[in-house]
Amino acid sequence: MHHFTRDDIKSLDKRYRAHLVNSLSGFKSANLIGSQNTDNQTNLAIFSSVFHIGASPALVGFVMRPDNGDRHTLDNIKYSKQYIINQVSTEHYKMAHQCSARYPRNESEFSHSGLSTQFIANINAPFVKESRLKYALTLKEIVPITLNNTQIIIGEIIHIICQENSIQPDGYIDIEALETASLSGLDSYHSSIRMARLNYAKPHTPLIPLTVSGSPLSTKK
């Protein structure tokens, strides 16, 4: 086992440290955030820091790196107060990864990645047409993290668009049916294999695997 102390971590090469620390949290969701500026210039950026905050109201957050004056996604969200989180599938992960390249503000990642825009009424931000699960949010709060000058962007979900056969009768979304991709570290993409979906855990009660299919959930005998 390799043991890194705090001093060891601080003394590591910058890129090595970035890969090491980003890998610690394991698998993360891969998402493309779509936004648009005052000139209707679209922007698409990949994020692996999207996380659930609450269901009532439906709140989702993501972490924005320190504002260096050239954060196109942050500027667009501040302007329009709307943005789209588009889940990445295993079919389109290479196209999604291309969106991590640093294009000038006046060039859209949609054009360079080959992904397509999709718009719906009253939403001033682009969906990714190819995404099988995507949702529109309105900005609710930006929380500064003084420890490292990052920011948590919190939005309320106002529209959800999802491939219908992946939504189970109890509301659970089968991300494997969507062929959702995940990320580890900064650049390693993965598909997943479900081990089981388990019933709600209670003290002194056996766990029971649940069936996930296009039909209502049933308990395996």
pLDDT tens digits, 61-117? 999 998 777 789 999 999 999 999 999 999 999 999 999 999 999 999 999 999 999
Q: What is the pLDDT of residue 214?
A: 55
- Domain of residue 190, residue span: 13-196
Q: Is the residue at 100 inside a domain?
A: yes
- Model pTM? 0.91
Residue 218 has pLDDT above 90, yes or no: no
- Domains in the chain: how many in total? 1
Element (H, E) at 96: helix 93-98
Question: How many other C-beta atoms can be found within 10 angstroms of the C-beta atom of residue 130?
Answer: 19
Q: Is the residue at 212 inside a domain?
A: no
DSSP letters for 113-150:
H---EE--TT--S-EETT-SEEEEEEEEEEEEETTTTE
Q: What is the pLDDT of residue 67?
A: 78
- Residue 191 backbone phi and psi in degrees, to 5: -100, 165
Q: Which runs of E-coded beta strand occur in 48-125?
A: 51-55, 58-64, 82-87, 117-118
pLDDT tens digits, 207-216? 888 877 654 4
| CATH number of the domain to which 149 belongs | 2.30.110.10
Q: Is the residue at 66 inside a domain?
A: yes
DSSP letters for 171-213:
S-B-TTTTTB-EEETTTEEE------EEPPP-TT----EE--S
Q: Is the residue at 131 inside a domain?
A: yes
Q: Is the residue at 202 inside a domain?
A: no
Q: Is the residue at 219 inside a domain?
A: no
